[in-house]
Chains A and B, each alone.
Chain A
Amino acid sequence: MYWIALLVPLVIVIAGLVFLVARRSPLASLEMSGEVAAAANTGRSRWSARLRLALLLVPILGGVVVSLIVASYQDADGVDGPLGRTSFLMIAPLLVTVVIALLFAFVPRFGESRLTRMAELGRRSPLTFVTRPASIVLVILTFLLTIATISFGVLAWPRDESLFYFYGGGFAGGGGEFPGFGFGVPILVSLALLVAAVWFSLFRVAHAPRPTDVSLREADSALRVLTSGAILAIASFAITVTLATVLTMAGVAFWGVADARIDQNGAPVALNFTAWMLAVLSHASVGLGVGFIIVAIYFLVRVISLVTRSPFSITRRGSVKA
């Protein structure tokens, strides 16, 4: 299954090239001239500069995390299992995304020099510049990861984070590492951190001061829509990857138990309903895990699409559009 990890850089490179080569229309087409056009251009270049800085920090941060993980696996005495390197590997996407979400919490000022300032009387909330489906999807994914983590935590063998099941008169554990609360609590804490970071970033994007000029406000809206969309997509990507990891890990452990030939006392295990159920659960979990990896790839492509798209184009007022 480790080959799947190679998909991420591959998708980034291919999607990045496709979106850079493709001639996509900007999010908004604005007609303006003079000082307003200059202010819009300044705002857009400030936004691009900050975005480039954020995008530069992403591979650096990712590289540091990957290096730490690789180094930990080189160390034969490293702590494995819950709260160890496997646990760190599982929460790494969530923690990296916390930092990325915070990096996107900016909207540049357009630098207007006006004696009269104007403001809308609408109250802006963190969801003002966010599309409803994108926010609903993020809520559903957060809910699914929470439910999966708690459910697997309840099922897990508390002593060594393996799966336990009732067998004969007692119960037995096995199947290798299972995402119980030992793995689940760090995941839930990281998820809470990510949700807080996303909310904070969306709040900052929504509440940054708006320009006075009507055309500039449209330009400003385009920047905010792109930034908010990127924050939601990158958070959805991280949660989906974690969900896929948890489900796949559980599926492998389910199979390990279902495929067991002897119980913890060394007695042969007959194929019974429990083993059959665990086999079905194993296939369902791994299938869902693979499904969520495909969904994660979609979110990754969406992030790249959003951050490479031009927020707006400027047509000189009075000139004929091409």
Chain B
Amino acid sequence: MIAVDSTDPTPPFEQIRRQLADQIRTGSVPSDSKLPSVRQLAGDLAIAPGTVARAYSELEAEGLVETSRTGTRVRPGRNLSTDLREAAGRFLRAVPSATLEDALLAVRTEWDLR
């Protein structure tokens, strides 16, 4: 699912881009799956087709999706690997009191020491 909040000061195209990027990276939207057409998504979200088109073109520039004549697809290999997600899950279970900032700092510190 994807949502656009009209009260959010973030522009609608950025809301769509961010949610799609997150869902592609976490694997909620699988590799090689087709995204809805610009008109379909714009109709369902009651926004202009140009807004969805802009979000798609930004995702394409990031290398997360590719557009062809048959539509927009998630590029293969853009999802987080299962190993990485399982390791993150083990970390969170081991230190349930850690905040997101602490967790990111810990990973960054270990990354620098590597």
Contact = CB atoms under 8 A, between A and B. Distances in A.
A210 B7 contact: no
A209 B7 CA distance: 21
B36 A121 contact: yes
Contacts of A120: 1, 36, 44
A117 B7 contact: no
Interface of B, secondary structure class, is mixed
SS of A interface (majority): loop
B3 interface: yes
A183 to B, nearest CB: 39
A265 interface: no
Interface string A215-234: 00000000000000000000
B36 A123 contact: yes
Contacts of B44: 117-120, 209-210, 212
A130 B45 CA distance: 24
Nearest to B2: A119
Contacts of B81: none
Interface residues of A, number: 15
B102 interface: no
Nearest to B46: A117
A118 B2 contact: yes
A122 B36 contact: yes
B40 A207 contact: yes
Q: Among A115, A116, A117, which residue has the most Cβ atoms of chain B within 10 A?
A: A117
Contact of A115 (B5, B23, B36): B5
Contacts, number: 58
A69 B2 CA distance: 54
Nearest to A211: B44
A208 interface: yes
A209 B36 contact: no
Contact of A119 (B23, B36, B71): B36
A123 B29 contact: no
Interface string A115-153: 111111111100000000000000000000000000000
B26 interface: no
A208 B46 CA distance: 11
B59 interface: no
A288 B16 CA distance: 56
B41 interface: yes
Contact of A209 (B2, B3, B6, B46): B46
25 contacts: A115-B5, A116-B4, A116-B7, A117-B3, A117-B6, A117-B46, A118-B1, A118-B45, A119-B2, A119-B36, A119-B41, A120-B1, A120-B44, A121-B1, A121-B2, A121-B23, A121-B35, A123-B34, A123-B36, A123-B37, A123-B71, A207-B43, A208-B43, A210-B43, A212-B44
Closest 4 CB pairs of A and B: A119-B44, A209-B43, A118-B3, A116-B5
